[in-house]
Structure formats: C-alpha cells, structure tokens
C-alpha cells in the first residue's frame, strides 16, 4: 500500500504545525498538578516533538544519549506517562513487549500497518474505512469515543526480499489468517 497508493499515507512531519502549543499544554497540565516544568521535561518534550516516527522508551533514551542529553530511564518513563496523561502522546501495543509512542497532538486520526518481520510501522488514513466503521457503530447504537485500527502483516519490502515470508508468519501460533 505504500508507493502504489501514496494518498493513503500520512506524513507527520508536514501534517500539522502546532506552533509550540504542545509546550503550553504541557506547562499548564504540570502547573495544575503542582508539578514543575523542569529542564529534563523540557528537553524530553522537545525531543519527542522533533521525532515524527514511532518510538519505544528505550529508543527515546538512546536518541537522547546520542544527542548528549543525560536523562535517566526513570525520568524518561515518568515523563512519557505524564505526556500520555495530558493527551500529547498516544501509546500503541503492537505485541512486541514494549509500548510504541507517537506524538498525536495537532495531528489527524490515522491507522497503522505493522510489519511483523522488520517492525516497520506505516501510518495511513482511508476515509472509506472510517465511514464504514461509523456506519457499523451507528447501526449497532454504539457511541464511539475513540478507536485504533492496527493491521499486522508483512510489508512489500520484506515479502519481495524473502519469498515465503508471508506463509511462514501465517503459520505462526496466534495468527488468525485474514480471508483473502
């Protein structure tokens, strides 16, 4: 779905310009809870909002260290927790044993493709899928507050590079094969 259908793909780097509003939201959230906007929190916020991909806490810690920023693991986890609580971040569990974070403040809703082989996460939006979900929930009288669509499979790059990969993953325990 990548190169053949670029209209579905999301480019977070150009998706939204928040003009620094995330900092104001974070500062106000901390102030209301009697917490300080420390140097470490500011550096973490700036780093998170400069990244336009999904990341784990460990990956964030590695990137901070690469940039010469000495933040402890505890500070990273605590700050991620606060950023989640004030809705500046979203966390996704792709079944890999770690949460993947993304900044969603100022960005439109989107869904995810997750390659089981290379672990690449591709963001996409398809209005027809969204409309269908709205029809289904409306028909059932279900009032949707939020939703998350994650599609698991093997990306084109991996399947082209390694024939038989899709079949190997399809035979894995816990995989309920999608009807084709």
Place of tokens 């290379």: 118
What domain range includes position 81?
Answer: 17-106
Residue-wise pLDDT for 10-24, tens only, equals 665 555 566 788 999
Look at residue 118 and give its three-state secondary structure: coil
DSSP assignment of 36-96 equals ---HHHHHHHHHHHH--S-B-HHHHHHHHHHTT----HHHHHHHHHHHHHTTSEEEEE-SS
Query: Is residue 9, in this structure, part of any structural domain at all?
Result: no
Look at residue 4 and give its three-state secondary structure: coil
Give pLDDT, residue 2: 41
Name residue 92's beta-bridge partners: 100
Do residues 167 and 97 share a domain? Answer: no
Q: What angle separates helix 39-50 from helix 73-85, to the nearest 10 degrees?
A: 70
Domain at 122, CATH number:
3.30.1490.190
Give pLDDT, residue 96: 87
End-of-domain residue from the set 50, 73, 106: 106
* Token duo for residue 62: 């590695």
Query: Is residue 82, in this structure, part of any structural domain at all?
Result: yes
Give pLDDT, residue 175: 74
Do residues 76 and 151 share a domain? Answer: no
Query: Is residue 102, in this structure, part of any structural domain at all?
Result: yes
Helix (H) or strand (E) holding 95: none
Number of domains observed in the structure of the chain: 2
CB 154 within 8 A of CB 122: no
Do residues 35 and 97 share a domain? Answer: yes
Give pLDDT, residue 171: 87
Give pLDDT, residue 15: 56
Q: Which residues of the chain have pLDDT under 70?
A: 1-6, 10-18, 177-180
Do residues 115 and 136 share a domain? Answer: yes
């Amino acid at each position: 779905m990548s190169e053949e259908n670029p209209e579905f793909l999301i480019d977070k780097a150009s998706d939204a310009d928040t003009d620094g509003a995330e900092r104001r939201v974070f500062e106000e959230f901390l102030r209301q809870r009697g917490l300080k906007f420390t140097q470490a929190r500011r550096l973490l916020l700036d780093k998170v909002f400069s990244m336009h991909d999904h990341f784990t806490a460990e990956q964030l810690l590695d990137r901070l260290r690469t940039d010469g920023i000495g933040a402890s693991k505890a500070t990273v986890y605590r700050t991620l927790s606060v950023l989640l609580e004030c809705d500046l971040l979203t966390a996704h569990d792709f079944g890999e044993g770690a949460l993947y974070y993304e900044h969603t403040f100022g960005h439109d809703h989107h869904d995810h493709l997750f390659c089981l082989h290379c672990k690449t996460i591709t963001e996409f939006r398809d209005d027809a899928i969204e409309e269908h979900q709205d029809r289904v929930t409306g028909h059932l009288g279900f009032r949707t507050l939020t939703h998350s669509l994650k599609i698991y499979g093997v990306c084109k790059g991996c399947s082209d590079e390694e024939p038989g990969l899709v079949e190997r993953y399809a035979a894995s325990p816990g995989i309920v094969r999608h009807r084709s």
